[in-house]
Amino acid sequence: MLNRGPTLNTRTVLEIVRKYSLDSAGVEVTSLGGLKKIGGQNCVLITLPNGDQLLIDCGKIVGDDNFEKEKASLYPNFDAINFDRLVAVVLSHGHYDHILAIPKLLELRGEREIPLLILATPVTFVVLEKVLANAGYKADQLSKLTTFQLLNDQQSIGRFKIEAYPVIHSIPGSVCLVIEACKKRIMYLSDFKWMRNNWIEYSEAQVLFEKLARTNIDLLLMDSTNAKMEGQTPSVTRTRATFERILTAEKYKDRRIIIAMFSSAFEDASDIAIAANELGGRQCSCRGVAMSFFFDLFGVLGDQSHYADGQEVIFVTGGQAEKTAVLNKASLGQSDWLELQPSDVVIIASNPIPGNDVNIELMVSRIKTIGCEVITTKESPEIHVSGHEMIDGLKRATETIQPQRLMPIHGDRPSRVQLGKAVHSTNPELDVLIVSDNEPIVI
């Protein structure tokens, strides 16, 4: 038994885990990054008793001034990987904090007799191929370093059986994973929510989780991003309605609208662009390297030449006040992509990631000084719906899946502890593991 106590104490849990590890040669699970902050270098290593290893996700921290100042690694801890025994990398989805370290991983592994196998969905591969091209990798070079294989519902790679199931997130092609090895089943449920559009999606997720519960999940690694937020993540219906009201409001009729959002939230951007085109005759465009990358890759805006009756709608990066992002640099008068005008309406359509609050407030202050009206989720919560599930939905998922052990991931320590406490309060028999990066557990 790993942790049956009424409290969640990291030291106690780790001491018990280490004792358990000494007493039983089992499957080792180690987070190599992603447990210090939301949007970190998410990466999990699974090691079998014979030394074979499987890597789940391989992300990099992007645009975090604090990490850069502290000279902390923006990459996962690659030192923990035995490249001679690494059989494959499995990617859950195409967000940068889950795939952007793949070029570095390939560089460190180098050319070997057997190229490294990478498994992902088609959408994730489209993003990854662009990431690798931007990193300077040519097709002939990649063919010597790696082999791409599409994820199926089930596949066996060496001693690992890998199952992949579609889940809802803010980018298409997202999956949860179940890894079976040595008669243990590990479920990786990172970056998900119950539904995007309607309750049909919720019902489908319920059926999936009930199905997996019947297979006996030994360890559930679950997203803790929104563990501090009460309730359940709603559908995007309210966001569409809110933007329709803004786009048709008389006071905004002759004003340019700037929308800052996550560059990978292109499905949401597409919904907004359609409304801007059809309801106001507004022409839409995007600015910024990351925004252009995703919008061009997936044809988000289509042909905008037919729409020029109203003021423009411009999608930009910088909702988190990232140092090099378009909106932040525009607020300083330093952007080559965008010059803010006093009549602009600036909508920051994302919730502040913990740690970014101060920088966002400073950026908003600078934008207001220019004369722009600024709308954030503080004034209008409906302008953004998260791609991550909130605490009630996280508890519901845990109750449905019924794992033997829960390890909160994808979040800073307070978020992970919050999730652990919430789940433990309704199910004190559940082993909840609050660990740190590079501290292995064995099941």
Look at residue 355 and tell me whether its pLDDT is greater than 90.
no
Instruction: List domains and CATH numbers for the chain.
Output: 10-229+386-442 (3.60.15.10), 237-383 (3.40.50.10710)
- Which of 62-71, 361-370, 399-408 comes out lowest in average pLDDT? 62-71
Q: How confident is the model at residue 24 (pLDDT cuts 50, 70, 90)?
A: low
Please tell me the distance from the alpha carbon of residue 261 to that of residue 348, in angstroms, as a whole number.
Answer: 6
3-state SS, 143-209, equals: HHHEEEEECCCEEEECCEEEEEEECECCCCCCEEEEEEECCEEEEEECCCECCCCCHHHHHHHHHHH
Q: What is the pTM of this model?
A: 0.88
Q: Return the pLDDT at 301.
A: 93
Least confident of 5-14, 40-49, 190-199, 399-408: 5-14
Chain mean pLDDT for the chain: 90
Q: Say whether pLDDT at 175 is over 50.
A: yes
Task: Provide the 8-state DSSP code for 70.
Answer: T
Instruction: State how far the Cα of 324 lies from the Cα of 40, in Å rounded to an integer.
Output: 18
> Among 110, 99, 7, which Cα is nearest to 57's?
99
- The confidence band for 22, taking pLDDT boundaries of 50, 70 and 90, is very low
Cα–Cα distances in angstroms (integers) from residue 75 to residues 33, 103, 105, 430, in the given order: 7, 11, 9, 32
Say how far residue 142 (Cα) sits from the centre of its chain: 25
- Tens-digit pLDDT profile for residues 252-267: 999 999 999 998 888 8
Neighbours of 133 (CB within 10 A): 13
Of 416, 412, 376, residue with least CA distance to 394 = 416
**For residue 16, what pLDDT is reported?**
41
Rounded to whole angstroms, the Cα distance separating 382 from 242 reads 6
